[in-house]
Structure 1
Amino acid sequence: MSVADPVAVEPADPPEPVDPVQPVKTAQPPATAEPLVEPLVEPLVEPVDRVPDVAPLAPLDDDVRARLLTGAHHDPHSVLGAHPVRGGLAVRCLRPHATQVSVVIGTRVWNLHDEGDGLFAGRIPGQGHAPYRLRVTYPDSAVETADPYSFPPTLGDLDLHLISEGRHEELWTALGSHVLERGGVLGTRFTVWAPNARGVRIRGDFNHWDGTALPMRSLGSSGVWELFVPGIGPGATYKYELTGPDGQRLERADPMARRTEVPPATASIVCGSDYEWGDDTWLRHRADRPVHTAPMSVYEVHLASWKPGATYRRLAHELTEYVSALGFTHVELMPVAEHPFGGSWGYQVTGFYAPTARLGGPDDFKYLVDTLHQAGIGVILDWVPAHFPRDEWALAEFDGRHLYEHEDPRRSAHPDWGTLVFDYGRKEVRNFLVANALYWCEEFHIDGLRVDAVASMLYLDYSREDGQWAPNEFGGRENLDAVAFLQEMNATLYRRVPGVVTIAEESTAWNGVTRATHDIGPDGFGGLGFGLKWNMGWMHDSLEYVAHEPVHRKYHHNEMTFSMVYAYSENYVLPISHDEVVHGKQALVSKMPGDWWQRRANHRAYLAHMWAHPGKQLLFMGQEFAQGAEWVADEGPQWWVLDENNPAAGDHRGVQRLVGDLNRLYVSHPALWEQDARPEGFQWSAADAAEDNVFAFVRRAADGSPLLAVVNFSPVVREGYRLGVPPAAGQWREILNTDATRYGGSDVRNAEPLDPEPEPLGGFPASLTLRLPPLAAVWLTPM
């Protein structure tokens, strides 16, 4: 083992000392924590050679001593550990509550002098750089261990350079807690970015939550603090104790922790992993087809409430089986990063690098993703870089100054959510977030990130009145720092992760959300670089339309057709998300007018229209079987409505059966997805049939294969309804009818086969005469 070189540099103007931290001796590790690794403590062996007490060292300077004891020393390794001196080795250690500390070299033992306040020191003659251990005696026990202050820094110059430049794309490998071996000694390296702190110490269940003995060293201008602690392994709980620039004592969880205690407990946990992935085939083929020309049907899930009480591993089997049976291609998970308040549904994150411990550990979450992948199901994760909560133990004023949040309150405080906004202009903060996006995709094999609340990031005046915001350097309202961050995040992800997709929840008309970052638009900005964008306009307009009684729908016809005016301005996802079925908005089926039969019929017709419309589709859990109540996070979906003892179970199962059929037909017909991003993939057959409440359009695959989708949003059967169709080699047939008996409909069908007539109509050279069922959608294809 090498001995740390002494560092003699002291600050010119040392801070004033503050009161020492009192140890907390009653803290216990959480019940869910993994067991600690066996500490590297050897049995006490009778030495062959006993050496008298060693010569004392010169007393520490009062200021140095005070800063060391109060956790305000920037370089404890210059004071503690072993340092070669003329004729021997000077050793000093800090072990509060010890009665004696000895240095062990081979079979020889030297007893150090007690300097008070837990400091022990002495000069050992003639030992040079000999490796040593510490034997520490307490009133009721004795241990032998390596000295944390005998190790050189565990971060290299390249890591520190990349951190300082804000370009460390694997930041999670450099910061946080990591179990590793140094010179044959197993322990944990702790590293944290806290550039404004006077000092940082580690406290945890391994030192009775008294950080006095474990002050960290500053690694210069990088702002990083580091310490390797022997004998600490996976499962150990810890926090950082910082002394702020004003001397204030702060206790913080690790921003880079990869595991946390189960809320409401807030400590970080040293994380180890031995997970072996089994999704090689999925990853190898994930990038075979660009997402814009591939099928994507997404089932949105709040994991904690999908089956309340279920763990990641139980969900791995039950969710995978359910989603596979319904034919969805992807699941989208509402945020799983650790969050203190369950009522936020995960959208107020404190542990950006840790899956929530409520459902299990990180390897358990990997198992969930792995199981879905092996079943051929992609995993999209909600990601929240727009803001973070003010909890004092987390990121807010992390080191006693505005660090992760902007120092200007007009840019740091989010008026709607009572949270703080990241300082996207600070390179280290931007690095924290870009690396976090990579972390989820690379470490957990996530296939895509749906980025929450993008609009709130893009505009400096978002939800702010005049006087509450300041314009950018050009006098505009755009947050140029946020734009640069989003561009960097997207460009980095697409460069490093083959087949990944990023999806923006962006509710404004910002130009170029899904345009390439290098493609400069008329507004002077490059594209944001997202793969897809939620089509909030389609969602709002279509829900407004179907909420009207059929007799009034003719006055709102354009609400359903307007989406095609801008359908190819971006690459879209059509979202019926959790936001649309909470807070008094009602469940999807309950938004529909009429009696129970009509509401279900409207629901079915709406879903078929959605699946046929250009764009990918997303449906929130519970809406696939038409539950009547809004989603409640503490209760989850109303699975009971599907039980046999429920008189209406058949009605709900009919809607569920339809969703399964929609997905299977969708995937098997490239006309519905292959040209989602190309105008050639869509043509109206009837766009202006407002009096009839009818919409009809043709979708085309890349080879021209057509599919005709017709929706009758009126409660009457329309006989002999003629619609234009493209030329086809043969007859047409009905492949979907949402009025079928199996879905709970009245079974108004079209006899097969259907012969096209050579009568041009609506810009097509031929036409079909159809029977349109009430409040229903019909899909037809050539035979």
Structure 2
Amino acid sequence: MSDPDTAPLWRRLGAHPGPSGTSFRVWAPNARAVTVFGDFDDWAAADHPMDRGPDGVWTACVEAARPGMSYKYRIVGADGLIRDKADPLARAAQLPPETASVIVGESTFEWTDADWVADRPDRRPRAEPMSIYEVHLGSWRAGLGYREAAVELAQYAVDHGFTHVQLMPVTEHPYGGSWGYQVGSYFAPSSRWGTADDFRFFVDHLHACGIAVLLDWVPAHFPKDPFALGEFDGTPLYEHADPLRREQPDWGTYAFNLGRSEVRDFLLAAAVYWCTEFHLDGLRVDAVASMLYLDYSRGEGQWRPNARGTNENDEAVEFLRRLNDAVHTACPGTLMIAEESTAWPGVTAATDHGGLGFDFKWNLGWMHDLLSYVSRPPEYRAEVQEHVAFSLTHATAEHYVLPISHDEVVHGKGTLLTRIPDSGDRAAGVRLTLAFQWAHPGKKLLFMGQEFGQVREWADDRELDWGLLDDGCPDAPMHRGIALAATDLARLHADLPAFHRLDGDARGFAWLDARDVRNTVIGFLRLADGAAPVACVFNFSDRDLYGYRLGFPAAGPWLEILNTAAREYGGHGVGNLGRIVAVDEPSHGRPYSATITLPASAAVFFTPEA
């Protein structure tokens, strides 16, 4: 299964129709017998026994099997039990709750994104703007398939200044309530929204509109559903045989046995498959921390140290390095992004320098600190302001994505809007929070609905509350104001090099003031070689601050290019009338300073008029 001179795994295994029928090949090395059955034999499971090869791969050719027909494998396991299993290499599956695999012919889709794909290796993503819109396809707008969603979502992303769309997993999954994170078929786009070619249309259309497409991908664990990978041939085949490593206790799932070469090859092939067959621009790899640590979510006596006596999972480290190298080699310019929640060193360092090889890492510490900060009443923020400042001081420790993700708007956490204390101006708090996110070094990710101030928590079985933006909604002006502010922030991020060119470089950031805890004010500069600086000042108090003196790097007029308290955003209109002047008066360790107005619960951005 691991011979590099052979065709990709998805072409060697699975169901492949041809002129004389469909050939089936499945890896089940410990099975006593395997039979393929399905629509072509009325599910009799008696007519098409498979032959075992020396590599543990069972094969059969069924003349009556045609594209569109459903099938499964009936496996007599090493333990003597009979299991009916879906094909691990199936490229399509039945619409859940049905669980059979579906035969798929060669794609007839005609791509139009050749220039996009050809240009991708020459891009410099760490120096380019990246505003990611995270989407759960089934609940963004109800009733849309891949093709319909492509048209509406691409236009929405363009209109609101997003550069990327990141889809929560569309790999086929048996239970919708898992949001796609418990994958049943690693090579099949979910039939909930259409076919594989429909998904190709989705990606192709977004590319045509200038929007990159990222996909959440889940190599850490898989569900225990009887039709899926667990105990596939009557033994722990894809999962660990060691009971201390077999399961992920947080999710009630099996953990992949990354020490087995065939399992590694399966996952590596799946990652490359999605990037090559569907032209994806990147994968966001879920739950990396759960893979890196042997004691992840395990108490005393529930895990076993490695040979060095420590808790690092050496097999996972090696797998992740191979994963990133494999995707980068097969699909140059494709991004690999880690959801890694600890301080593991070198997540975004190159593999030949001892790192894991990811392009970016989610900065979950930034997310938790910021959301905890803005969730406090303003009078209690000063005592934890240093936590928010910490992320700015350490913004170049890795190459970061700053996420406000789906995990932060479910399970009683509320939404970005309802996290803001109800004693104040919640909409102002949202606009301020988004401004801090977009000004902070690092790429940006925002979960759907937060860009217009969704009130209800997200639920996967209903669409977003788009009615909040309608004329008939009394709060529509507030929600439209949030949406406009979010759009302007994304466009400023894209238009001004200071906001993105040196994201992962210490030269791209300088403090104006981090110590004013009395007023809960934070100020800093964003910088880029050969580009105008941007001064970003944030008033996290609920008081308008007049005559506020702040050090500036240059004398002369500075334009107020954004004020989240502007009336067009639904704010109270306090500001600087579009312009300030820095004079030769030292302050905050700088030779120049300006007297500015800082609106309550607001951000103001300035750039030199010249």
Aligned to 1:510: 344
Deviation at 1:643, TM superposition (A): 1.3
Aligned counterparts, 1:20-31, within 5 A: none
The AA in structure 2 aligned to 1:177 is A
Deviation at 1:564, TM superposition (A): 2.3
CA distance in 1 between partners of 2:396 and 2:528 (Å): 16
Aligned to 2:203: 369
Deviation at 1:603, TM superposition (A): 0.7
2:33 matched to 1:199? yes
What SS does the corresponding residue of 1:300 show, helix, strand or coil?
A: strand
Alpha carbons 1:756, 1:767 under 8 Å: kept: yes
Aligned to 1:527: 355
> After the TM superposition, which parts of structure 1 deviate over 6 Å for at least 4 consecutive aligned residues?
166-169
CA distance in 1 between partners of 2:234 and 2:85 (Å): 11
Aligned to 2:118: 284
1:542-589: per-residue Cα shift (whole Å, max 9, x none)? 111111111111112112101123211111111100000100111001
Aligned to 2:407: 579
CA distance in 2 between partners of 1:491 and 1:302 (Å): 28
2:333 matched to 1:499? yes
CA distance in 1 between partners of 2:171 and 2:193 (Å): 11
Aligned to 1:174: 12
Superposition TM-score, scaled by structure 1 size: 0.76
CA distance in 1 between partners of 2:172 and 2:579 (Å): 56
Deviation at 1:386, TM superposition (A): 0.7
The AA in structure 2 aligned to 1:336 is V
1:633 pairs with one of 418, 437, 460: 460
Deviation at 1:507, TM superposition (A): 0.7
- How many positions carry a matched residue from both structures? 608
What SS does the corresponding residue of 1:659 show, helix, strand or coil?
A: helix
CA distance in 1 between partners of 2:529 and 2:305 (Å): 46
CA distance in 2 between partners of 1:723 and 1:286 (Å): 42
CA distance in 2 between partners of 1:362 and 1:760 (Å): 63
Aligned counterparts, 1:119-268, within 5 A: 163-165=1-3, 170-180=8-18, 185-220=19-54, 222-268=55-101
Alpha carbons 1:193, 1:224 under 8 Å: kept: yes
Which structure 2 residue ranges, 5 or more long, are not aligned? none
Aligned to 2:595: 769
CA distance in 2 between partners of 1:710 and 1:573 (Å): 21
Aligned counterparts, 1:614-625, within 5 A: 614-625=441-452
Aligned to 1:380: 214
2:400 matched to 1:566? no
Instruction: Kindly report the root-mean-square deviation, in angstroms, between the aligned alpha carbons of the 2 structures.
Output: 1.4
1:405 pairs with one of 239, 256, 262: 239
1:701 pairs with one of 528, 545, 551: 528
Alpha carbons 1:205, 1:236 under 8 Å: kept: yes
CA distance in 1 between partners of 2:7 and 2:305 (Å): 31
CA distance in 2 between partners of 1:532 and 1:692 (Å): 34
Alpha carbons 1:165, 1:428 under 8 Å: kept: no
The AA in structure 2 aligned to 1:442 is T
1:419 pairs with one of 253, 275, 299: 253
Deviation at 1:295, TM superposition (A): 0.6
What SS does the corresponding residue of 2:88 show, helix, strand or coil?
A: coil
CA distance in 2 between partners of 1:562 and 1:609 (Å): 14
Aligned counterparts, 1:300-699, within 5 A: 300-519=134-353, 526-595=354-423, 598-699=425-526
CA distance in 1 between partners of 2:4 and 2:121 (Å): 28
2:539 pairs with one of 712, 717, 736: 712
The AA in structure 1 aligned to 2:415 is A
CA distance in 1 between partners of 2:434 and 2:28 (Å): 51
Alpha carbons 2:40, 2:64 under 8 Å: kept: no
CA distance in 1 between partners of 2:592 and 2:30 (Å): 74
What SS does the corresponding residue of 1:173 show, helix, strand or coil?
A: helix
CA distance in 1 between partners of 2:324 and 2:454 (Å): 37
What SS does the corresponding residue of 1:372 show, helix, strand or coil?
A: helix
Question: Percent identity at matched positions?
Answer: 52
Aligned to 1:744: 570
2:585 pairs with one of 759, 762, 766: 759
Deviation at 1:692, TM superposition (A): 0.9
Deviation at 1:234, TM superposition (A): 1.3
Deviation at 1:165, TM superposition (A): 5.0
The AA in structure 2 aligned to 1:733 is L
1:155-179: per-residue Cα shift (whole Å, max 9, x none)? xxxxxxxx14588682111111112
Alpha carbons 1:167, 1:431 under 8 Å: kept: no
What SS does the corresponding residue of 1:541 show, helix, strand or coil?
A: helix
2:558 matched to 1:732? yes
The AA in structure 2 aligned to 1:363 is D
Deviation at 1:513, TM superposition (A): 0.8
Alpha carbons 2:79, 2:235 under 8 Å: kept: no
What SS does the corresponding residue of 1:349 show, helix, strand or coil?
A: coil
Shift in alpha-carbon separation, 1:714–1:749, aligned structure 2, 3 A? same
CA distance in 2 between partners of 1:604 and 1:167 (Å): 54
What SS does the corresponding residue of 1:778 show, helix, strand or coil?
A: strand
1:75-114: per-residue Cα shift (whole Å, max 9, x none)? xxxxxxxxxxxxxxxxxxxxxxxxxxxxxxxxxxxxxxxx
1:43-66: per-residue Cα shift (whole Å, max 9, x none)? xxxxxxxxxxxxxxxxxxxxxxxx
The AA in structure 1 aligned to 2:397 is S
The AA in structure 1 aligned to 2:12 is A
Structure having greater relative contact order (Cα 8 Å, sep ≥ 6): 2
CA distance in 1 between partners of 2:581 and 2:79 (Å): 84
Alpha carbons 1:698, 1:725 under 8 Å: kept: no
What SS does the corresponding residue of 1:258 show, helix, strand or coil?
A: coil
What SS does the corresponding residue of 1:640 show, helix, strand or coil?
A: helix
CA distance in 1 between partners of 2:5 and 2:137 (Å): 33
The AA in structure 2 aligned to 1:677 is G
Alpha carbons 1:169, 1:435 under 8 Å: kept: no
What SS does the corresponding residue of 2:352 show, helix, strand or coil?
A: coil
Superposition TM-score, scaled by structure 2 size: 0.97
The AA in structure 1 aligned to 2:537 is V
The AA in structure 2 aligned to 1:229 is V
Deviation at 1:223, TM superposition (A): 1.4
The AA in structure 1 aligned to 2:330 is R
Deviation at 1:658, TM superposition (A): 0.9
Shift in alpha-carbon separation, 1:392–1:670, aligned structure 2, 3 A? same
Deviation at 1:763, TM superposition (A): 3.4
Aligned to 1:73: none
The AA in structure 1 aligned to 2:142 is P
What SS does the corresponding residue of 1:395 show, helix, strand or coil?
A: coil
Shift in alpha-carbon separation, 1:667–1:169, aligned structure 2, 3 A? farther
CA distance in 2 between partners of 1:169 and 1:450 (Å): 26
CA distance in 2 between partners of 1:701 and 1:504 (Å): 26
Alpha carbons 1:687, 1:696 under 8 Å: kept: yes
Alpha carbons 1:169, 1:431 under 8 Å: kept: no
What SS does the corresponding residue of 2:204 show, helix, strand or coil?
A: helix
Deviation at 1:362, TM superposition (A): 0.7
The AA in structure 1 aligned to 2:559 is R
Which structure 1 residue ranges, 5 or more long, are not aligned? 1-162, 520-525
CA distance in 2 between partners of 1:606 and 1:414 (Å): 34
CA distance in 2 between partners of 1:310 and 1:485 (Å): 36
Shift in alpha-carbon separation, 1:755–1:365, aligned structure 2, 3 A? same
What SS does the corresponding residue of 1:528 show, helix, strand or coil?
A: coil
